[in-house]
Structure 1
Amino acid sequence: MADRDASQSSQMDYEALSRTLAEIAEKSQQLVTDFLQQEQSEHHLPFEDAAQMGQLFQELSTRLLADPGRLMQAQMAFWQDYMSLMQNTALRFWGIEPEPVRRPEGGDWRFKHDHWEQHPVFDFVKQSYLLTSDYIHSVVSDVEGLDDQTKKKVDFYTRAFLDALAPSNFAATNPEVLERTVESGGQNLLQGLSNLLEDLRRGRGRLDIKMTDYDAFEVGKNLATTPGQVVYQNELMQLIQYEPSTEQVHARPLLLVPAWINKYYIMDLNEEKSMVRWLVAQGHTVFIISWKNPGEALVDRGFEDYMLEGPVAAMDVVNEITGTEELNLVGYCLGGTLSACTLAYLAARGDQRVRAASFLTCMLDFEFPGELEVFIDDDQIRSLERRMGQRGYLDGRQMSTTFNMLRANDLVWSFFVNNYLKGNEPFPFDLLYWNSDSTNMPAKMHSFYLRRMYQENRLKEPGGITLAGEPIDLGRIDIPAYFMSAKEDHIAPWKSTLRGPRLLSGPTRYVLGGSGHIAGVINPPHKNKYGYWTNTAKTVDQDEWLAGADAHEGSWWNDWGQWLAEHGGERVPARAVGSGKHRPIEAAPGSYVREGVLYER
């Protein structure tokens, strides 16, 4: 009886295996067909990036060979450490536990499994990788004769190469994957191949790594759920007004200007994390811009169009609906940069309706743009402009890939191991759903932004750029301003944002929060996480600023809430949503937010 049950179990396993292989074969065939059709219908520049990278490392090699003595010295140090590692490994087989030659950095998820430490073979593989990585990094960082930009690019691509070669990324050298393979009889690898093919299918030939369970979330259902109405729309944006939750509100309404690199609902993620819901509960009349996901119909839109059809148009509607000539502005990331441009534009025209502004993790001085700098030089921008010229816009997936590469171990390789080697489905995570909801960039706007601000850093110069006929001078912004940055932000580094307050002429407050570009900002008080620092000094030196700063527990929202209340004006009865002129069009979150890659899948 037992033998018959085992035989039936084996039969079922073979049947499951056959079905999986058949599904993989069908997906593979369809993938190849779709990819060939795409290649015939689109023009690509397949060798351009490779050629640029080849030139980069050719220059590195030339510089290295110009100083063979230093290279030989580094090689000798490497071999001495490697011999120590081999000796230590031999000692471990004899039961002796020597000190490791190399240890992974704290928090490195790649080597958390016990076998990386306890098993001599995997410990040797781990330390060999770390030792080799350190050697290559030291050689690259010590080379002389390279300009700063080239050195940063070489360092970035070297790290990307070494991250890709980590032993955790290969089934044969990852002990956790090997255990899973033995336990499942290889089903994890078959399921992983199926996941890989599905991601390639979804990306139409390009790898679109699934970071979360897309079916677990729906905008308007469990994301972006704060009650409100779309009260105005044009070709570039919808304006949402939220229903009040207090009997009285501050006289000055709040207009939130998010970035259009991603969807607006990062500021209204869910009930527990929603900045919008929290602001409404603090007694503010809140409006937010939901940007259109641009396609071929909006290819002629430039940066000034985003200003005029975005915050400027929204302000007119906010003033009409609320019946007040004053309001306060909140800009996040690129939305903060646009807000500063808007305020300078309004100042040039004598328009003083904005009485206070908040700038959240945004750069006004681009002298230190962080790791994004490696993608911003003349050659790469020209290459990007040629690609954008094919459609008239930058595909949002390409922008998303760029940002993911800045944190490849967390945003690429962790999912590679989980989805393709372990054969798992990614965990439902609202923040990663939002991160996958990418948006396009009109070519004209994006080229202006990259060249005038990132590459040439003209925004900080009075009259350095002109928008809608007005020279932009940030020094004409003389209203109270609140700057918030995040200590671990790699998109808008606080080394750069710390220079923002000095460009304005009004009173400013600079607050530094913990964590990064997203989690540091979306940090509701009830979580009591990360902490924040305050300092009234106007220094642009990070170490000096932090040394003189006061540390506070909890969320920076507590500090910001007090500042907003001080500049919100007197209390008035809560306002109804919309007006006779601007009647509600549709319920929040509106239709514009439902456009994009996630809704084409």
Structure 2
Amino acid sequence: MYESIELIEKLVNGIDIFNRLRQQEIQIGVTPKQEVYREDKVVLYHFQSQTENLFNIPILIVYALVNRPYIVDLQEGRSLVANLLNLGLDVYLIDWGYPNQDDRWLTIDKYINGYINNCVDVIRDRHNLEQINLLGICQGGTFSLCYSSLYPEKVKNLITMVTPVDFHINEGLLNVWSGSSLGKQALDVDLLVDTLGNIPGNFLNFVFVMLKPFQLGVKKYIDLLEIVEYEDKLLNFLRMEKWIFDSPDQAGETFRQFIKHFYQENKLIKGQIEIGNKRVDLGNIRIPILNIYAEEDHLVLPASSLALEKYVGSVDYTVRSFSVGHIGMYVSSKVQKDLPPTIANWLKARE
């Protein structure tokens, strides 16, 4: 009886807090930034630091096309961007925007040889540099590997974070769903894209939730009852929910190419990816690489990321791991104490 009364009191207090919170904006992406380049839906941002830049070479963050990149700047105290700035780095980020039906035919070639290359050139021109540093996250890390293979003269150091490399690690449910073992029999991506055009962000959200249906679809809302009367914790929950469900549609042709060539055919490690009539050869990457993975990642299994060492040509190759899941890499308070210094110290040694 007492527990029931206590639960009702929590819910009443939580409803009161929620009613007040929904009247205000749930702030996400708190670090001041300036737009320095725009092309189509893509925007290049330069973050404004309150400390002196201690590094000669700026770093460009390349995030995945799925979800929004402000997860790396979620809130004060849990912002990879802010923590890197505080350590003296000069930070840029590509925001891919929200593709619509006009963008259905955008290809991976356009994203890599077009948008990423143009953003890199803008930064090089702004700083009068031949090379910059890249930090590629998840799918953005895969794109950064392709870019570094095609443009090794423009990248000084490469950091990959929770980045898929070997897409045929069949223990991963995302890999299996995408067709790593059965190909078109698992997912007929041609039929999907030809029918829908762009792939709805809500469809992909459903897929990700179904990889862990209880934990991601039920348990987190049960656990919400434990924090619902605490405004700070409820705010943290709402920020994450806002990010999770802020899912852009995927340009149809890019989605088709990524699923077929990377997931189903595993062409990246086979050296068979062609972008803009040029072959992506991971062995052509001879620059220093820092490869960071999450030990409990269910989206990008550690083995998928760790495979990178076998295929790149770099002799300066470093691996670091953190005992969190895929999302924990961005928002875990403990990780945010250790990850930014790991990146900064590694880069400082290679200035």
TM range (shorter): 0.7 to 0.9
Q: Is contact 2:131-2:155 (8 Å) kept? A: yes
For the pair 1:440 / 2:223, whether they are aligned, the reply is: no
Q: How does 1:73-88 map to 2 (within 5 A)?
A: none
- The aligned amino acid for 2:49 is P
Cα deviation for residue 334 of structure 1 reads 0.3
- After superposition, the Cα gap between the structure-2 partners of 1:497 and 1:248, relative to the gap in structure 1 and judged at 3 Å, is closer
Q: Give me the whole-angstrom Cα distance separating, in 1, the residues matched to 2:190 and 2:202.
A: 16
Mapped pair 1:355 → 2:164: no
Measured in 2, the distance between the counterparts of 1:268 and 1:509 equals: 25
Contact residue 309 and residue 317 of structure 2 kept, 8 A: yes
- Kindly state the Cα deviation for residue 402 of structure 1 after the two structures are TM-superposed: 0.7
Residue 105 of structure 2 corresponds to residue 300 of structure 1: yes
**Alpha-carbon distance in 2 for matches of 1:183, 1:226:** 38
Residue 215, structure 1, aligned to residue 25, structure 2: no
The equivalent of 2:340 in structure 1 is: 557
- Report the CA distance between 1:263 and its aligned residue: 0.4
In structure 1, what is the equivalent of residue 173 of structure 2?
Answer: 371
C-alpha distance in structure 1 between counterparts of 2:167 and 2:196, whole Å? 28
Q: Secondary structure at the match of 2:50?
A: coil
- Partner SS, residue 36 of structure 2: strand
1:513 and 1:521 in contact (8 A); partners too: no
* Structure 1 unmatched ranges of 5 or more: 1-114, 116-175, 189-212, 532-553, 570-601
C-alpha contact (below 8 Å) 1:486/1:521 kept by paired residues: no
For CA contacts below 8 A with separation 6 or more, give which structure has more relative contact order.
Answer: 2
**1:436, distance to aligned residue in structure 2 (A):** 1.5
Q: Which amino acid aligns with 2:285?
A: I
Contact 1:361 1:492 in 2 (8 A): yes
Alpha-carbon distance in 2 for matches of 1:416, 1:492: 24
Q: 1:344 to 1:236 in 2, by over 3 A?
A: farther
Shift of residue 404 of structure 1? 1.1
Q: Is the 8 A contact 2:137 2:162 kept in 1?
A: yes
State the match for 1:486 in structure 2. Answer: 294
TM-score of the pair, normalised by structure 2: 0.85
- Counterpart code for 1:459: L
Q: Please, what is the CA RMSD of the aligned residues?
A: 3.2
**TM-score, length basis structure 1:** 0.51
Match for 1:402 among 189, 202, 207? 207
- Inter-partner Cα distance in structure 1 for 2:220 and 2:54: 45
Aligned residue in 1 for 2:329: 520
Matches within 5 A, 1:108-147: none
Q: Secondary structure at the residue paired with 2:114?
A: helix
Aligned amino acid, residue 161 of structure 2: L
Question: How many angstroms apart in 2 are the aligned matches of 1:505 and 1:451?
Answer: 25
Quick check: 1:289 aligned with 2:91? no
Match of 1:330 among 135, 144, 149: 135
* Distance 1:446-1:216 versus aligned 2 partners, 3 A rule: farther
Distance change >3 Å, CA 257–CA 508, structure 1 → 2: same
CA gap of 1:276–1:530, structure 2 versus 1, over 3 A, is closer
Q: Give deviations 1:566-586, integer Å, cap 9, x for gaps.
A: 22x3xxxxxxxxxxxxxxxxx
Offset of 1:410 from its aligned partner? 1.9
Offset from partner CA, 1:448-479 (integer Å, 9 cap, x none): 111111111110112x0100111110100000
Per the TM alignment, residue 483 of structure 1 is displaced from its structure 2 partner at its CA by: 0.3
Contact 1:501 1:510 in 2 (8 A): no
String of CA shifts for 1:295-340, please: whole Å, max 9, x gaps.
1010010111111233211001101112222210000000000000
Specify every segment of 5 or more residues in structure 2 that has no aligned partner in the other structure, as ranges.
12-19
Larger CA deviation: 387-396 vs 312-321: 387-396
CA distance in 1, matches of 2:223, 2:50: 42
**What secondary structure, in the 3-state scheme, does the structure 1 residue paired with 2:329 have?**
coil
Contact 1:294 1:439 survives alignment (8 Å): yes
Q: How does 1:35-434 map to 2 (within 5 A)?
A: 179=4, 215=22, 218=25, 222-347=27-152, 352-368=153-169, 370-377=172-179, 378-382=184-188, 384-414=189-219, 427-428=234-235, 429=237, 430-434=239-243
Letter aligned with residue 504 of structure 1:
V
- Tell me the residue number matched to 2:273: 465
Q: Which amino acid counterpart does residue 286 of structure 1 have in structure 2?
A: V
- Is residue 566 of structure 1 aligned with residue 349 of structure 2? yes
Q: CA deviation at 1:247?
A: 3.0
Quote how far apart the aligned CAs of 1:522 are.
Answer: 3.6
CA–CA distance in 2 between the matches of 1:341 and 1:494? 20
Give the whole-Å Cα distance in 2 for the aligned partners of 1:343 and 1:415. Answer: 39
User: Is the 2:168–2:175 contact (alpha carbons within 8 Å) kept by the matching residues of 1?
Assistant: no
